[in-house]
Amino acid sequence: MNAEPFVAPFVLQYTYKRSLGPVFSRFFTALRDGRILGSRTAAGTVLVPPSEYDPETGADLAEMVEVGPEGTVLSWTDLAEPPPGHADKTPFAWALIRLDGADTALLHAVCASEVSAGMRVRPRWAAERTGQIWDILCFEAVSP
Amino acid sequence: MSDVTVLRTPTRLNYEVTAGAVTARFLTGILDKNLIGQRCPACRKVYIPPRGSCPTCAVPTTEAVPVGPRGTVTTFSVVRLPFEGQILPPPYACAHVVLDGADVPLLHIVGDCDVDTVRIGMRVEAVWAPVVEATLASVRYFRPVDEPDVPDDQIRSFL
Would the CB atoms of B7 and A5 count as touching at under 8 Å?
Answer: no
Residue A127 touches chain B, beta carbons under 8 Å: no
Measured over the CA atoms of residue B131, residue B132, residue B136 and residue B139, the dihedral's sign is: positive
- CA-nearest residue to A6 within chain B is B19
Report the C-alpha gap between A6 and B26 in whole angstroms: 11
% of chain B residues with pLDDT over 70: 100
Provide the pLDDT for residue A1.
45
3-state SS class at B15: strand
User: What's the whole-number average pLDDT of chain B?
Assistant: 92
Residue B132 has pLDDT above 50, yes or no: yes
Judged against a pLDDT cut of 80, whether residue A2 lies above it is answered with no
Q: What is the pLDDT of residues B52-109, one digit of tens each?
A: 999 999 999 999 999 989 999 999 999 999 987 787 888 999 999 999 999 999 999 9
Is residue B157 less than 8 Å (CB to CB) from chain A? no
Long-range CB pairs of B62-65, under 8 A, 24+ apart, other chains included: B62/B38, B63/B38, B63/B39, B64/B25, B64/B36, B64/B37, B64/B38, B65/B36, B65/B37, B65/B38, B65/B39, B65/B101, B65/B102
Q: How much is the average pLDDT of A73-92?
A: 80
pLDDT at A4 (0 to 100)? 60
Which tens digits make up the pLDDT trace of B108-118? 999 889 999 99
Comparing CB atoms, the residue among A11, A17, A29 nearest residue B8 is A17
The predicted pLDDT at position A114 comes to 86
Residue A85 pLDDT greater than 80, yes or no: no
Task: For residue B62, give the chain A residue with the closest CA.
Answer: A1
Alpha carbon distance B50, B60 (integer Å): 11
Q: Do A12 and B12 touch (CB under 8 A)?
A: yes
DSSP letter (8 states) at residue B128: E
B146 has pLDDT over 50? yes
Q: Does B58 touch chain A (CB under 8 A)?
A: no
CA–CA gap between residue A70 and residue A123 (Å, rounded): 7
- The answer to whether A65 touches A50, Cβ cutoff 8 Å, is no
Residue B12 has pLDDT above 90, yes or no: no
CB contact, 8 Å: A13 with chain B? yes
pLDDT recorded at residue B84: 78
Contact state of A10 with B15 under an 8 Å Cβ cutoff: yes
pLDDT at B99: 97
pLDDT at A87 over 80: no
Under an 8 A CB cutoff, do A9 and B14 touch?
yes
B23 Cβ under 8 Å from any chain A Cβ: yes
ipTM: 0.74
DSSP-assigned beta bridge partners for residue B17: A8
Q: How many CA atoms lie within 13 A of B40 on its CB side?
A: 19
Q: How does pLDDT run across A12-25, given as a tens digit for each residue? A: 888 899 999 999 99
